[in-house]
Structure 1
Amino acid sequence: MKSQASTLLAEVRTFRQNHPDVRYVDLIALDIPGHFYGKRYPIEMLEKVAAGSPLKLPQNAVLLGVQGGLFKIGDYCFHDGDPDANRRLVPGTLKPVSWESQPLGQMLITSDGTEAPIEFEPREVLAKVLERLHHKGIHPVVAFELEFYLFDKKLDNGLPQFARDPLGDDTDDQPNLHIERLSRFSEVLDDMAQTAKDQGIDITVITAELGPGQFEINFGHLDDGLRAADWAALFCRSTRGVALKHGYRASFMAKPYLQFPGSGMHVHVSLYDGAGNNVLAAHQQQPLRHAVAGCLELLPHCMPIFSPNHNAFRRLGGTVNAATRASWGFEDRDACVRIPDSDPRNLRIEHRLASADANPYLVLAAILVGLEHGLEAKREPIAPLNEDRSSGTDFPVEMLDAVRAMQHQPVLRDKLGAEFIDVYCENKRQDHLAFQQEINAREYRWFL
């Protein structure tokens, strides 16, 4: 602990030397719906926290709904006195914020690694999964890919408008993968990439996607799953801020347009043993098949994580490369679990089902649990799509059905934690019911 405090204190002092104009730092963490919460600390108080002073925030901040409201979940929120819980600073995450009008810093905080971690905090859920895998001699290497849309900054009666490029066109007429779209939006995209790199995020490939104003950003592979999920979360925050600075809105909403593709979160995962050997490639790739079978078996029970809101379920089916059933295949983007072509050293799965607005910590935790379960159960998967285009198993496509499928699944309750499963399912159920408590204009047109 003394060594960590010394490291954190050195990090804060170095930051102050390099950024003397920064007076405040946002201490932030991701809640269950995938939004950042936290507090803005004076930089001198942050130095005291780094030296060992307590850092406490309300435990129930993690339970916030999409709109920030609190739901009655067991005894939490309304019958527990709303207690504080300890947080700690995440080393290496103190970075400048360049998209605000005033100099500012930000730093991740978490309850994992404290004396009493919050069992349902997303980062803690992932930390426990990774720790268990490490004890079994399994070391994941992870890379995220995130799709997002750019919109005009101004809404039209609450509806998004296409992003206007510097040529002044009212619509984006550049087709999928067209390099010209990257050129037209190069100013904002370059700023997004540079800002992410300033946050310590390894940005690699940038792609123009099929939707108007839709792009994909790839991150480098990491042997630290927590850090990989940190990158995904922080990228969303910085990208939204940079877009506003340039007169756009950036959104990771799963399905902003019914007629165009949705935005996904693709996660590449390979597994290595302590000697650096690829676990999935051993014994003529038999462990790969077992791991795929485990992912597919648990996938229908993880849908509230992969599709965390009403809009996310709209993304499934009906458009390019959006699966409608739990499936797998070699070099097949229609599959939920794709096996990219690679040499044995880099053999991996690409999990393609999650929406871009899903919680990256929980998505990765669910994928890893599926892989772990498959390696333990040693079952053969269903036929890949390469052999049978109709292969696949059904999964829930509506939130309340998905919650019911998740809540009592024994493997998930064991490996993700029963307390987390109960809290998460109730949070999603309450959020979904709250969303339904509004009558829109179409409902009046149909039924008045």
Structure 2
Amino acid sequence: MKSHYSTLLAEVRTFRQNHPDVRYVDLIALDIPGHFYGKRYPVEMLEKVAAGSPLKLPQNAVLLGAQGGLFKIGDYCFNDGDPDANRRLVPGTLKPVSWEAQPLGQMLITSDGTEAPIEFEPREVLAKVLERLQHKGIHPVVAFELEFYLFDKKLENGLPQFARDPLSDDADDQPNLHIERLSRFSEVLDDMAQTAKAQGIDITVITAEIGPGQFEINFGHCDDGLRAADWAALFCRSTRGVALKHGYRASFMAKPYLQFPGSGMHVHVSLYDAAGNNLLAAHQQQALRHAVAGCLELLPHCMPIFSPNHNAFRRLGGTVNAATRASWGFEDRDACVRIPESDPRNLRIEHRVASADANPYLVLAAILVGLEHGLEAKREPIAPLNEDRSSGTDFPVEMLDAVRAMQQQPIVRDKLGAEFVDVYCENKRQDHLAFQQEIHAREYRWFL
């Protein structure tokens, strides 16, 4: 423990030496809906925390709804006295923030690894899954891919507007995959990439996607699942900030346009043993088939994680490469679980069903639980789409149905934690009901 604090203290002091103009550091963590919460600390106080002083925030900050409000969930929030809970600093995440007007730093905090971790904190949920897999000799290697849209900075009547082409000042309103879009928006995209790298995020490929103003960022393969999810979370934060600095609005909203493709979070996962052997390639890839079967079995019961809000369900069955049933296939982007072509060493699954605004810690935890269950159950999967285009099993496409399916699934409750499942499902149910408590103009047009 002493060496742990020495490492943290050295990190903070090095940061202060390299960034003497930074007076405050944002200590941040991801809540259940995938928003950052935290506190802004004077940098000199951060040294005290790094040396071992307590760092406490309200436990129930994790339970905030999509709009920031608190819901009554069991005894939490209104019958528990709103207690504080210990957090710790995540080593290696203290980085400068370049998109704010004033010099600033940021650093991730978490309850995992503390004496009393918060059972429903997203990072803690993933940490427990990874720890269990490690004890079983399973070591995941993970790579996220995130799609997002650029919009004009100003909304019109609350609606997003197409991003303006910086060369012609025309709206970038044409769906295409043209490489020229990367050149036209190179200034903001390059800033996003450099800012991400300054945050310690290993980003690789940038792609112009099909939707107007839509792009995709790929991350490097990482043998630390927590760090891979950290990268995805931090990228969303920095990308929004950089976009605003350049006069745009970046959004990871799942389905901003009905007529254009939605934005997804694609996760590549391979599994290795301690000797570095790819477990999915074992027994002539029979283990891969078992893992796929487990993913497909639990997928319908994890839909509140993969599609965390009303808009995210709109993306399913959309215009391009958005599955309507739990399915799999080799080199098939219509499948929920795609098997990219690769050699046995790099054999992996690509899980494609999650929306870009899903919580990356929870998405990865749910995927790993599916793989773990499949390897243990050793069942054969349904036919791949390559053999039968109608192959697939139904999954819920409405939040309240999805919540019921998740809350009642014993394997999901066991492997993700019953307390987390109950809290998460009630949070989603309450958020969905709150979303419905507003009459929109369309209702008056139809029914007045």
Alignment TM-score > 0.5, same fold = yes
| Contact 1:265–1:356, Cα closer than 8 Å, also in 2 | yes
Distance 1:166 1:24 in 2: 34
| Contact 1:174–1:181, Cα closer than 8 Å, also in 2 | no
| Contact 1:88–1:114, Cα closer than 8 Å, also in 2 | yes
The CA deviation at 1:173 is 5.3
Distance 1:17 1:329 in 2: 52
| Contact 1:209–1:215, Cα closer than 8 Å, also in 2 | yes
Residues 353/250 of structure 1: CA separation in 2 closer, same or farther (3 Å cut): same
Match of 2:9, SS? helix
Match of 2:109, SS? strand
The CA deviation at 1:319 is 0.9
Q: Deviations over 1:335-355 (max 9, x none)?
A: 000000000000000000000
The CA deviation at 1:165 is 1.4
Residues 247/356 of structure 1: CA separation in 2 closer, same or farther (3 Å cut): same
The CA deviation at 1:410 is 0.3
Distance 1:48 1:299 in 2: 44
Alignment-derived partner of residue 304 in structure 2: 304
The CA deviation at 1:174 is 5.5
| Contact 2:26–2:105, Cα closer than 8 Å, also in 1 | yes
The CA deviation at 1:89 is 0.1
Match of 2:140, SS? strand
Structure 1, unmatched stretches of 5+, are none
The CA deviation at 1:178 is 0.7
Mapping of residues 66-105 of structure 1, within 5 Å: 66-105=66-105
Q: Deviations over 1:261-313 (max 9, x none)?
A: 00000000000001000000011000000000000000000000000000000
Distance 2:168 2:280 in 1: 50
| Contact 1:138–1:272, Cα closer than 8 Å, also in 2 | yes
Q: Deviations over 1:113-158 (max 9, x none)?
A: 0000000000000000000000000000000000000000000110
Q: Deviations over 1:8-58 (max 9, x none)?
A: 000000000000000000000000000000000000000000000000000
| Contact 1:120–1:424, Cα closer than 8 Å, also in 2 | yes
| Contact 1:93–1:108, Cα closer than 8 Å, also in 2 | yes
Residues 154/173 of structure 1: CA separation in 2 closer, same or farther (3 Å cut): closer
Alignment-derived partner of residue 337 in structure 1: 337
RMSD of equivalent CA atoms: 0.6
| Contact 1:162–1:170, Cα closer than 8 Å, also in 2 | no
| Contact 1:174–1:180, Cα closer than 8 Å, also in 2 | no
| Contact 2:211–2:261, Cα closer than 8 Å, also in 1 | yes
Q: Deviations over 1:71-94 (max 9, x none)?
A: 000000000000000000000000
Distance 1:175 1:64 in 2: 36
Distance 1:359 1:274 in 2: 28
The CA deviation at 1:408 is 1.3
| Contact 2:146–2:216, Cα closer than 8 Å, also in 1 | yes
Match of 1:269, SS? strand
Distance 2:430 2:170 in 1: 39
Match of 2:295, SS? helix
The CA deviation at 1:176 is 2.8
Distance 2:377 2:331 in 1: 25
The CA deviation at 1:168 is 3.3
Distance 2:140 2:440 in 1: 45
Q: Deviations over 1:358-386 (max 9, x none)?
A: 00000000000000000000000000000
Distance 2:361 2:382 in 1: 28
| Contact 1:330–1:338, Cα closer than 8 Å, also in 2 | yes
Distance 1:229 1:415 in 2: 19
Match of 1:27, SS? strand
| Contact 2:262–2:318, Cα closer than 8 Å, also in 1 | no
Match of 1:253, SS? coil
Distance 1:292 1:67 in 2: 36
Q: Deviations over 1:183-203 (max 9, x none)?
A: 000000000000000000011
Mapping of residues 1-150 of structure 1, within 5 Å: 1-150=1-150
Match of 1:228, SS? helix
Distance 2:172 2:241 in 1: 22
Range with greater deviation from structure 2 (172-181 or 256-265): 172-181
The CA deviation at 1:172 is 1.6
| Contact 2:174–2:211, Cα closer than 8 Å, also in 1 | no
| Contact 2:175–2:260, Cα closer than 8 Å, also in 1 | no
Distance 1:338 1:43 in 2: 45
Distance 1:346 1:14 in 2: 37
Match of 2:236, SS? helix
Mapping of residues 392-431 of structure 1, within 5 Å: 392-431=392-431
The CA deviation at 1:169 is 3.9
| Contact 1:278–1:347, Cα closer than 8 Å, also in 2 | yes
Task: Determine whether 1:199 maps to 2:199.
Answer: yes
Structure 2, unmatched stretches of 5+, are none
Distance 1:91 1:167 in 2: 42
Q: Deviations over 1:215-236 (max 9, x none)?
A: 0000000000000000000000
Alignment-derived partner of residue 237 in structure 2: 237
